[in-house]
């Protein structure tokens, strides 16, 4: 077992590299660490899925990348978020002044938020909301920006796009509002797209359409995608690599097939076992497995491994002495568990 080696300098294909990202919220009850020492890369044309239970730090990580968390002193961010701009240079977004960050959001990196009805302004027409970003970043006239907005609505599959420019969000279905959010995110052809559970509130047929749309747009633009979801079925369909988070830390990271075929972290195994399987339905097999307990209080973390109190493989004196390091267990497969090797042998 060896600790994960130091990461080399970013390669030419890397669009984003996050190094040692830490995000904490300052509350009257004390400092709450929401993201702790998170590091990863996303290459051009690649989809990285962030998975984990609610409260694991997935969405806060994405908000931290774009500096959309509350301003100090309510929130503090440290580490590096290196994003490759259109000129090919890597810039640290954590160190950028806010005025320069406004030029990055929407142009070099964009985000699709989880619930479009709360992200779209209810008193402005969708065409004006899409055109606003285009006018800000590209300096086009209102007429030219609305023309491009119509082309974007057509691109994301909204029929009669020019007429829909004048619609308000409440006049559209949930699936159409989500397509509007995608059009807004793609308006300036960003190099990085962050999708925060964009299909959670949609029915399965619309979900499939949105996933197919994102896949086709990624093939067309070669953008890097960070896809945040609870749905492991979606992960299997859309992702190239998976990063599993728990209590703000990365606990496992690997390509999607090796991780689904042979997960090394007990938490990842628990997530996979809790997915209903259609091929088991009606066969009289045991009840659907569930991970016992709840995510621990960040103000009172357990000693050692934070998953220890919920882990069936917990070993006193081994798992509760120190926070396990993130180890390179196999080539390209990292895990945060001191017992991964023994547990893998038992599973075999």
Q: What's the pLDDT tens digit per position in 136-156?
A: 999 999 999 999 999 999 988
pLDDT band at 220 (very low <50, low <70, confident <90, very high): confident
Question: How far is Cα 183 from Cα 70, in angstroms, rounded to an integer?
Answer: 26
pLDDT of residue 1: 44
pLDDT of residue 6: 44
As a whole-number percent, the residues of the chain with pLDDT over 90 amount to 62
Outline which parts of the chain fall under CATH 3.40.50.300: 14-99+191-276
Q: How far is CA 296 from CA 60, 61, 309, in A?
A: 17, 19, 9
pLDDT band at 286 (very low <50, low <70, confident <90, very high): low
Q: How far is CA 330 from CA 17, 107, 195, 200, 262, in A?
A: 21, 37, 29, 33, 11
Decide if domain 14-99+191-276 falls under CATH 3.40.50.300.
Answer: yes
| Average pLDDT over every residue of 163-175 | 92
Picking from 99, 96, 63, the residue whose alpha carbon sits closest to that of residue 82 is 96
pLDDT of residue 69: 94
| Average pLDDT over every residue of 19-25 | 97
pLDDT band at 343 (very low <50, low <70, confident <90, very high): confident
pLDDT of residue 345: 67
pLDDT of residue 348: 46
| Average pLDDT over every residue of 237-247 | 95
Query: Who contacts 28 (Cβ-Cβ below 8 Å, separation ≥6)?
Result: none
């Amino acid at each position: 077992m060896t600790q994960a080696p130091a990461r080399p300098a970013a390669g030419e294909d890397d669009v984003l590299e996050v190094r040692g990202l830490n995000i904490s919220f300052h509350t009257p009850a004390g400092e709450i660490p929401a993201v702790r020492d998170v590091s990863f890369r996303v290459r051009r044309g690649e989809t990285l899925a962030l998975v984990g239970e609610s409260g694991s730090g997935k969405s806060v990580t994405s908000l931290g990348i774009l500096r959309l968390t509350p301003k100090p002193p309510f929130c503090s961010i440290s580490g590096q978020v290196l994003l490759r701009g259109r000129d090919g240079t890597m810039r640290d977004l954590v160190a950028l002044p806010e005025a320069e960050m406004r030029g990055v959001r929407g142009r070099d990196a964009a985000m699709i938020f989880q619930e479009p009805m709360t992200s779209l302004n209810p008193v402005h027409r969708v065409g004006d909301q899409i055109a606003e970003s285009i006018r800000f970043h590209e300096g086009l006239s209102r007429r030219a920006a609305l023309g491009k907005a119509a082309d974007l609505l057509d691109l994301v599959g909204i029929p009669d796009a020019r007429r829909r420019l004048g619609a308000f969000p409440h006049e559209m279905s949930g699936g159409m509002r989500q397509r509007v959010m995608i059009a807004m995110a793609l308006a300036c052809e960003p190099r990085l797209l962050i999708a925060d559970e964009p299909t959670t509130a949609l029915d399965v047929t619309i979900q499939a359409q949105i996933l197919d749309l994102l896949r086709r747009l990624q093939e067309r633009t070669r953008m890097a995608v960070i896809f945040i979801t609870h749905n492991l079925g979606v992960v299997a369909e859309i992702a190239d690599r998976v990063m599993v988070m728990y209590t703000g830390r990365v606990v496992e990271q690997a390509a999607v097939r090796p991780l689904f075929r042979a997960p090394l972290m007990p938490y990842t195994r628990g997530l996979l076992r809790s997915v209903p399987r259609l091929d088991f339905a009606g066969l009289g097999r045991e009840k659907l497995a569930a991970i016992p307990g709840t995510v621990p209080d960040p103000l009172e973390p357990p000693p050692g491994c934070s998953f220890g109190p919920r882990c069936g493989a917990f070993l006193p004196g081994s798992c509760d002495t120190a926070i396990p390091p993130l180890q390179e267990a196999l080539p390209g497969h990292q895990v945060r568990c001191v017992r991964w090797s023994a547990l893998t042998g038992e599973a075999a």
